[in-house]
Amino acid sequence: MNFEFSFILFGGELNFNTRLESVVKGGIGLCVGLDPVMDKLPEHVRSSAEPLLAFNLEIIEYTHEYAAAYKPNLAFYEAHGLAGWRQLEKTIRAIPEECLIIADGKRGDIGSTAEAYAVSLFETLNCDAATVNPYLGSDALEPFLQREDKGAFILAVTSNPGGADLQDLVCDDEQLFRHVIRMARRLNKLSNVGLVVGATKPDLWHDLLELAEDLSLLIPGIGAQGGDLDAMKRELKDYGTPALVNASRSILYASSGVDFGQAAGDAARRLRDQLVE
């Protein structure tokens, strides 16, 4: 369980960014998204008693050597009700201690609701970090930031085309996402705040990184979404804080046959090598 990995270094508890630095090699690490879609699973896996779990276990077995983190998207488990949630719990328990676990639920609500979400993700599921939505403001994010060893990645510039509908709106003479980044920096009192920044928006990267300063990054959009890996690496070359590049479909569905685990491992190794070269 990852909680044990977080305990003590030189007499104190590791903060989240320190833990992230310890698992990311070369400044950029691979995050494997565990987003199993039933219709895309190999036929022999779909017939098992717990197909999501069976698929994930093989993906983890073949990719953990290359992964700094795993990011299960909660929706793909919640869609299957209690059975899906149980498979998510078992998946999380199977992830090696040395890998961070990021719960991708994009949570964000007020007061006791946000507190309950934080308990669910950090204590019940024992995840190391969560993706959170800043739309309800700082008080909706603070419950995720109370523990030094747990982190939150705040949505800043997302990889989907529709993200610009709100994120690029001009408020007080600048785009809304810039206000979000400044809020994230203000909340980073325990060095456990990061940003979600899509690799599909390369024209924003230079100014965005300058504004982010020392916040860690979770970067979706490489692989199936077509983000430019080389352009991203050029921008990150002088950025001193760790970044996680997430890939899901390009790894999970590298093969639809009985060799899907090996194919996923090969895809993960290739991407990891590209990230650190």
Cβ count within 10 A of residue 11: 5
CA pair distance 277, 263, nearest whole angstrom: 21
* Rg, C-alpha atoms of the chain: 18
- With contact defined as beta carbons under 8 Å apart, do 198 and 159 qualify? yes
The H-or-E segment that residue 252 falls in is helix 249-252
CA pair distance 120, 105, nearest whole angstrom: 11
Cβ count within 10 A of residue 27: 17
- With contact defined as beta carbons under 8 Å apart, do 78 and 36 qualify? no
What are the C-alpha distances in Å from 143 to residues 52, 139, 147, 182?
Answer: 30, 8, 9, 18
- With contact defined as beta carbons under 8 Å apart, do 264 and 272 qualify? no
Selected catalytic residue, list 71, 106, 150, 201 = 106
The answer to whether residue 237 is catalytic is: no
Using CA atoms of 63, 262, 50, 127 in order, give the dihedral in degrees to the nearest 10.
10
Beta partners for 222? 227
What are the C-alpha distances in Å from 112 to residues 116, 118, 120, 134, 274?
Answer: 6, 10, 12, 16, 43
CA pair distance 79, 74, nearest whole angstrom: 9
Cβ-count burial of 89 within 10 angstroms (0-12 exposed, 13-18 middle, 19+ buried)? middle
Residues known to be catalytic: 106
